[in-house]
C-alpha cells in the first residue's frame, strides 16, 4: 500500500466509513480516533512499551473500551526470530566491507556482492558511513581511500548493538510476564513504567476472574512440558505446538520460494499453513502447496 493509499484509508476510517480495521502496528499507530471501542492483538508485541501504545488507541474518549491480547506461549518463537535478525553480525559486516570498492556502488550491488539482504546491507552501510569507513556519493557508496576497517574496529562498532539486543530480549521477557501473569494487568503496567502499583483495577481479566479459576484445577486443565527447539515449553494445548517436520516436508529455517512473493525462510508452520519471512515482502502465512523448498535449514 502506497503512502497516498494509506492516508486515504485512514481518513475513511476516521469518518466511520469502516467499522472494523485489520492493520499492522505501523498503520494502527497513525490512527488517533477517540471512539475506538476495541483493539485486539493477534500476536503479542515485542515489548510492553509497544503494547501500551497500541492498546492505548482504544477508548481515548474516556468511555469503556476493550483491549485484548490473543496470546500463545509458542508465539515467542516469532519474536525471537525477529530479534535475532534485527542487528548485524561481525561476519556480515566484514562481507559488506570486503564488497566495497573504489568505484561507486548502490546498496543493491553491495548486497549482491556480499551475499546479504538488501535492508540489512543498508543498515550496515549506514553504520560504516557513521564510523568513517566509507563515503556516500551521488552514484552510491565507495570505500574510504585511507581508512581500513579491521575486525577489532567492526567488533567495537557492534558492541553497542549487542547491548541493545540484550535490552530487547529483556523487554520481550517483560511482555511475556505480562501475558502470563495472574496479577492485575494495570498494576503490572504501573510498576513497569516506574509508578506505584496502587490498588487492583477491578476491570482486567485477572481481577474479574476468581482466584480459584486462574490456576489449573486437577482433572480440568493439565499443563504439559514439551521439549522444543527453543527449550521447554509449558502449555495446556500441546497439540498446537509445531512438530519437528511437516508432512509436506518443511522445517523451521528452510529456504523456500513462492511464485508471487519470491524467496524467503520458514518461521513456523501449523497443519498446511506456513509462516514465511520473505526477503522483500515481510512475513506472510501461505499454504504449503504454494511454496517450493530450495534449501534446508542450516
CB contact at 8 A, 88 and 161? yes
pLDDT of residue 17: 84
| pTM for the structure as a whole | 0.55
Provide mean pLDDT across the span 7-14. Answer: 80
CATH number assigned to the domain covering 84-164: 1.10.10.10
Arithmetic mean of pLDDT, 214-241: 52
Q: How far is it, in rounded angstroms, from Cα 258 to Cα 262?
A: 5
Q: Give the cell for residue 70.
A: 490473543
Per-residue model confidence (pLDDT) at position 143: 86
- Of the pLDDT bands very low, low, confident and very high (cuts 50, 70, 90), residue 232 is low
CA separation for the pair 2, 8 (Å, rounded)? 10
pLDDT (tens digit, 9 = 90+) per residue, 48-89? 998 998 898 899 899 999 999 988 766 777 676 666 666 677
pLDDT at residue number 28: 61
Contact 81, 133 (CB under 8 A): no
- The SS3 assignment for 245 reads coil
Q: Where are the domains of the chain?
A: 1-70, 84-164, 255-295
Q: What pLDDT does 260 receive?
A: 79
Residues 6+ apart with CB under 8 A from 224: 234, 235, 236, 238
- pLDDT range class, residue 214, cuts 50, 70, 90: low
Number of residues that this document lists for the chain: 298
pLDDT value at 190 more than 90: yes
Residue range 192-203: average pLDDT?
Answer: 91
pLDDT per residue over 124-183, tens digit each?
888 888 888 888 888 889 888 778 888 888 888 777 777 777 788 888 888 888 988 888
| pLDDT for the residue 217 | 42
- Comparison of pLDDT for 215 and 86, the residue scoring more: 86
CATH architecture assignment, domain 1-70: 3-Layer(aba) Sandwich (3.40)
DSSP 8-state assignment for residue 71: -
Report the distance separating Cα 172 and Cα 77, nearest Å.
Answer: 11
How sure is the predictor about 227, in pLDDT bands with cuts at 50, 70 and 90?
A: low
228 band by pLDDT with thresholds 50, 70 and 90 = low
Bigger pLDDT: 86 vs 208: 208
How much is the pLDDT for 233? Answer: 57
Closest CA to 149 of 127, 122, 165: 127
Helix, strand, or coil (residue 255): strand
Q: Average pLDDT in the 196-217 region? A: 77
Q: Minimal CA–CA distance to 230: which of 62, 79, 110?
A: 79
With cut-offs at 50, 70 and 90, classify the pLDDT of residue 220: very low
HSE-CB of 283 using CA atoms within 13 angstroms: 13
Amino acid at each position: 500500500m502506497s503512502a497516498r493509499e494509506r492516508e486515504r484509508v485512514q481518513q475513511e476510517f476516521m469518518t466511520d466509513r469502516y467499522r472494523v480495521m485489520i492493520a499492522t502496528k505501523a498503520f494502527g499507530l497513525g490512527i488517533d480516533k477517540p471512539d475506538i471501542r476495541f483493539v485486539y492483538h493477534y500476536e503479542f508485541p515485542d515489548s510492553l512499551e509497544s503494547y501500551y501504545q497500541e492498546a492505548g488507541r482504544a477508548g481515548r474518549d474516556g468511555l469503556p473500551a476493550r483491549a485484548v491480547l490473543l496470546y500463545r506461549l509458542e508465539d515467542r518463537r516469532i519474536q525471537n526470530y525477529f530479534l535475532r535478525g534485527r542487528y548485524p553480525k561481525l561476519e556480515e559486516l566484514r562481507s559488506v566491507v570486503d564488497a566495497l570498492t573504489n568505484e561507486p556502488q548502490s546498496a543493491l550491488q553491495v548486497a549482491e556482492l556480499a551475499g546479504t539482504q538488501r535492508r540489512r546491507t543498508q543498515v550496515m552501510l549506514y553504520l560504516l558511513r557513521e564510523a568513517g569507513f566509507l563515503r556516500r556519493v551521488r552514484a552510491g557508496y565507495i570505500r574510504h581511500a585511507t581508512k581500513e576497517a579491521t575486525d577489532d574496529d567492526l567488533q567495537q562498532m557492534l558492541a553497542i548493538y549487542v547491548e541493545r539486543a540484550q535490552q530487547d530480549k529483556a523487554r520481550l521477557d517483560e511482555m511475556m510476564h505480562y501475558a502470563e501473569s495472574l496479577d492485575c494487568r494495570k498494576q503490572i503496567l504501573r510498576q513497569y513504567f516506574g509508578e506505584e502499583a496502587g490498588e487492583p483495577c477491578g476491570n482486567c481479566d485477572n481481577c474479574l476472574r476468581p482466584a480459584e479459576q486462574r490456576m489449573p484445577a486437577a482433572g480440568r486443565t493439565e499443563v504439559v512440558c514439551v521439549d522444543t527447539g527453543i527449550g521447554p515449553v509449558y502449555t495446556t494445548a500441546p497439540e498446537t505446538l509445531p512438530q519437528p517436520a511437516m508432512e509436506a516436508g518443511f522445517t523451521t529455517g528452510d529456504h523456500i520460494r513462492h511464485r508471487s512473493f519470491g524467496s524467503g525462510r520458514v518461521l513456523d508452520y501449523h497443519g498446511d499453513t506456513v509462516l514465511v519471512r520473505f526477503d522483500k515482502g515481510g512475513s506472510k502465512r501461505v499454504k504449503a502447496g504454494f511454496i517450493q523448498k530450495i534449501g534446508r535449514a542450516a
